[in-house]
Amino acid sequence: MRLRIWALAAAALALASCAGPPPGDASPAATGDTTNLAPGEWTGTTRNVLGEFPTIQAAVDAAEPGDLVLVDRGTYRESVAVTTPGLTIRGVDRNEVIIDGEFERANGVEVLFADGVVVENITAMNHRINGFFWTGVRGYRGSYLTAINNGDYGIYAFDSGDGLFEHSYATGSPDAAFYIGQCNPCDAVITDSVGEYSGLGYSGSNASTELYLVNNVFRYNGTGIAPNSWDGELLPPVENVTIVGNLVHDNGNGEFPYKTAQWIAQGNGILLTGSEHSTAARNLVVNHPMNGIFLHANIDKNVWMAGDNRVVDNVVMGSGLADITMAGPSQDGNCFAGNDYSDTMPAMLELRQPCDGLRFPSSFQMGSLTSLFGRLVERNLGLDTEVSYGDMPHPEPQPQMPGGAGAEVRPAVNVFASAVPDIDSIDVPAMPSDLEVTQQKGFNIMGVTFASVIGGLLGLYAYVLPLALYAAWVVIALWEIIKRDDLSTGAGIGWMFAILVIPFLGVIAYYIVGKSQIPAAYRWTMLAGGMGVYILFLVLGLVIGGIA
């Protein structure tokens, strides 16, 4: 019992002693203030780039709120900053209107605190930071966008609310192809889009509530979909994210650019990292070296634990570790039902933690976390293989926006209200004819895999070893008690009771004060030697992993 109290105290102390997110306020636009300074309708004025203005930036600077900036075919070697609300920036041809950063400029299009700006039917590539970027805005829409090989994010909305990314494509970004961050309620939808060859297909740090990812394809990334809680941005934890009807496959197979977090997380289909009250339903998740769907905590300044998430009616196959994995520590309330899968970790998750009826206390396992830790050590030791974001393959020409240059002009005002999907009508995606299950089940010991060799060793020494040691201590102690003649029956039963009921401390107490007849040298080798190896590996891991 003392161990439990100590454990609880340590966790509570850790949580209490860590300050929350650093000071600063999220923008009102990202926290539910519906004020949108953009006009609700097009002014009727079109600013033609090339015909009237030599650059997109020149047209944007001349435009009034609510104007259309219509961009002719060409490669534009510029970075466009937008501070005028309600503009629509439209290319006449998605594949032939290209903003090229030439790996020198920061952002393709950045919308800074200008509400209601729409960008559509344009390609942005080769920027050092982002392809398309909105920040601090209420009302945004990106339609029929293509983002290729941008150094941070492809298509990105931060600290903003009321948005839609649709029919868009992003590839080759080390952080994420699509990213929505720091908003609650986000009032946002990503739909009918493709994210590939990036660190993450979708990342959503502290992006919560009324946030829908539906009918997208996330493939060939490090990880497919990853809503996550962390302390580096405001508004943690991530909660109330709805992930439905997405095709998520082959993430973690092949090359992709990445940052540290993406390297650590690789090989998973859908990650719910410290997520709360979120739903992953009717997704098709195929071919992942680690887990198809993986719920786990994020240990940052705070420990963000997954809780009250629903994982239901997904089809998951071809997972190296397990199709559905619940790693600890976690909160209660995560539930699993109606999924089509072959295995879970821990086993029988749907039986133990169903969404309806009797639910056992939260169950999870820890071994799968060791691969994450091992990847961190690999990265810090420089054992990973650097992949340049500029080297990812360019896509085939992408579909044009219906209507093209003459399509209706609609500033991004009340976007979410008209974009919120009918979730109940969305089915599991059909298996593409060219997609086969190719991922084989990997070897693991109590969830410890060797996908990362260092992770495997850490797992063996820092996770499996102490459990094996404990089992050995208990067995040897019980056997000795049975054999001892100097103990009364009552004393023997008392020690047995202590050993079996008090985790770790009971058996340690027996060896130290129970007058065990095992020679002291052997006893101390068994106790201190084993634990010494464990502590040595744990400390090495923490230090090299950069956590301590």
Partner 1 sequence: MNRRWLALALAGVLALVSCGGGDASVVLEGENVTLNMFDNRFEFTEIRIPVGGSVDYHGAGRNPHNAVASDGSWTTEDVFGSLEQYEGDSAVITYHEAGTWTFFCTFHGNAAGAGMAATLIVGEPEA
Q: Name which of 24 and 406 has its Cβ closer to partner 1.
A: 24
Tell me the C-alpha distance between 217 and 396, whole Å: 15
> HSE (CB half, 13 Å, CA atoms) of 369?
18
Q: Name which of 218 and 364 has its Cβ closer to partner 1.
A: 364
Give the phi and the psi of residue 134 in degrees, each rounded to 5.
-115, 140
Maximum CA extent, the chain: 102
Q: Name which of 151 and 292 has its Cβ closer to partner 1.
A: 151
Tell me the C-alpha distance between 441 and 309, whole Å: 26
Q: Name which of 119 and 234 has its Cβ closer to partner 1.
A: 234
88, 63 contact by CB (below 8 A): no
**Shortest Å distance, C-beta 439 to partner 1:** 27
Q: Name which of 128 and 359 has its Cβ closer to partner 1.
A: 128
**Shortest Å distance, C-beta 24 to partner 1:** 5
Beta bridge partners of 200: 176, 223
Q: Name which of 15 and 348 has its Cβ closer to partner 1.
A: 15
**Shortest Å distance, C-beta 377 to partner 1:** 14
Q: Name which of 8 and 512 has its Cβ closer to partner 1.
A: 8
Beta bridge partners of 109: 80, 132
Q: Name which of 24 and 519 has its Cβ closer to partner 1.
A: 24
76, 56 contact by CB (below 8 A): yes
**Shortest Å distance, C-beta 402 to partner 1:** 33
146, 172 contact by CB (below 8 A): no
**Shortest Å distance, C-beta 515 to partner 1:** 25
450, 443 contact by CB (below 8 A): yes
In the numeric block, the tokens 């029956």 are attached to 489
| Residue 347: closest CA among 447, 443, 277 | 447
**Shortest Å distance, C-beta 163 to partner 1:** 16
Beta bridge partners of 91: 71
Tell me the C-alpha distance between 350 and 73, whole Å: 54
Cα distances (Å, whole numbers) of residue 108 to 146, 318, 522: 11, 37, 68
Q: Which two tokens stand for residue 91?
A: 């290319």
135, 113 contact by CB (below 8 A): yes
- Alpha helices in 107-168, H assignment, sequence order: none
Q: Name which of 303 and 527 has its Cβ closer to partner 1.
A: 303
Q: Name which of 10 and 437 has its Cβ closer to partner 1.
A: 10
Residues that bind partner 1 (CB under 8 A): 3-4, 6-15, 17-24, 81, 83, 106-107, 110, 112-113, 128-130, 135-136, 152, 158-159, 175, 181, 205, 232-234, 259-261, 297, 299-303, 328-329, 364-366, 466-467, 470, 503-504, 542, 547-548
**Shortest Å distance, C-beta 448 to partner 1:** 13
Q: Which two tokens stand for residue 367?
A: 């071994």
Tell me the C-alpha distance between 371 and 383, whole Å: 14
**Shortest Å distance, C-beta 157 to partner 1:** 12
Tell me the C-alpha distance between 258 and 125, whole Å: 17
| Residue 253: closest CA among 285, 273, 223, 216 | 223
Would you list the DSSP string of 355-391?
SSS--PSP--BSTTHHHHHHHHHHHHTT-S----GGG
**Shortest Å distance, C-beta 352 to partner 1:** 13
**Shortest Å distance, C-beta 45 to partner 1:** 24
**Shortest Å distance, C-beta 509 to partner 1:** 16
Q: Name which of 232 and 395 has its Cβ closer to partner 1.
A: 232
